[in-house]
Amino acid sequence: MKKILIIDDDIEMLQSLKKIMSHKPEYDVTYSQEPRIGNELFQKEKFDIVISDLMMNEFTGMDIIKSFKENSPEKPIIIISGYGTIEASVEAIKLGAIDFIEKPFTSNKLFESIEKALKSTSFDESLKDSSDGAKSFYGMIYKSSEMEEIIRMINSVAPTGMNVLITGESGTGKELVARAIHKLSKSSSDLFIPVNCGALPENLFESELFGYERGAFTGAVKTKPGLLEFANQGTFFFDEIGELSTSLQVKLLRMLEEKKIRRIGGKEEMEIDVRIIAATNKDLKAAVEHNAFREDLFYRLSIFTIDVPPLRERIEDIIPLANHFLTEIYESKNDSEKHFSEEVEQALLANSWPGNIRELRNVVGRSYILSTSKIIQLTDLPIPLKGNSKKFDTDMFLLDYSDAKESIIKKFELEYLTYHLKDNQGNITRTAQKCGLDRRTLHRLIKKYNIMY
Instruction: Identify the pLDDT of residue 86.
Output: 63
**Assigned architecture for domain 312-391:** Orthogonal Bundle (1.10)
Instruction: Identify the pLDDT of residue 306.
Output: 96
CB 347 within 8 A of CB 388: yes
Q: Which residues pair with 261 in a beta bridge?
A: 270
Helices 439-449 + 428-435 axis angle, to 10: 100
C-alpha span between 48 and 336 (Å, rounded): 45
Cα-trace Rg, the chain: 25
Q: Where are the alpha helices (DSSP H) in 333-438?
A: 342-350, 356-370, 383-386, 401-423, 428-435
**Residue 241: CB partners within 8 Å, gap ≥ 6?**
165, 197, 278, 279, 280, 284, 301
Instruction: Identify the pLDDT of residue 126.
Output: 45
Written as one string, the DSSP assignment of 210-223 is HEE-TTSSTT--S-
How buried is 175 (Cβ within 10 angstroms: 0-12 exposed, 13-18 middle, 19+ buried)?
middle
CB 264 within 8 A of CB 211: yes
CB 197 within 8 A of CB 240: yes
Instruction: Identify the pLDDT of residue 92.
Output: 79
Question: Rounded to the nearest 5°, which phi and psi values hold at 140?
Answer: -95, 120
CATH superfamily, domain 150-307, is P-loop containing nucleotide triphosphate hydrolases (3.40.50.300)
Closest CA to 241 of 191, 175, 187: 175
Instruction: Identify the pLDDT of residue 24.
Output: 87
In order of 100, 160, 162, 163, the CA distances from 86 in angstroms are: 10, 12, 10, 12
Q: Which CATH number fits domain 2-125: 3.40.50.2300, 3.40.1710.10, 3.90.550.10, 3.40.50.11740?
A: 3.40.50.2300
CB 406 within 8 A of CB 376: no
Written as tens digits, the pLDDT of the chain (453 aa) is 788 999 988 888 888 899 899 888 888 999 988 888 888 888 778 888 899 888 887 677 788 788 777 767 667 888 888 765 666 777 777 777 878 888 778 888 888 888 877 765 544 444 455 556 789 898 899 999 899 999 999 998 998 889 999 999 999 999 999 999 998 988 887 888 888 888 777 778 888 888 888 888 888 888 888 888 888 989 999 999 999 988 889 989 999 999 998 898 888 889 999 999 999 999 999 999 999 999 999 999 998 999 999 999 999 999 999 999 999 888 878 888 899 999 999 899 988 898 999 999 999 999 998 898 999 998 888 866 765 544 445 455 556 666 666 777 777 787 788 878 877 878 888 888 888 888 888 888 888 877 766
How buried is 241 (Cβ within 10 angstroms: 0-12 exposed, 13-18 middle, 19+ buried)?
buried
Give the pTM. 0.65
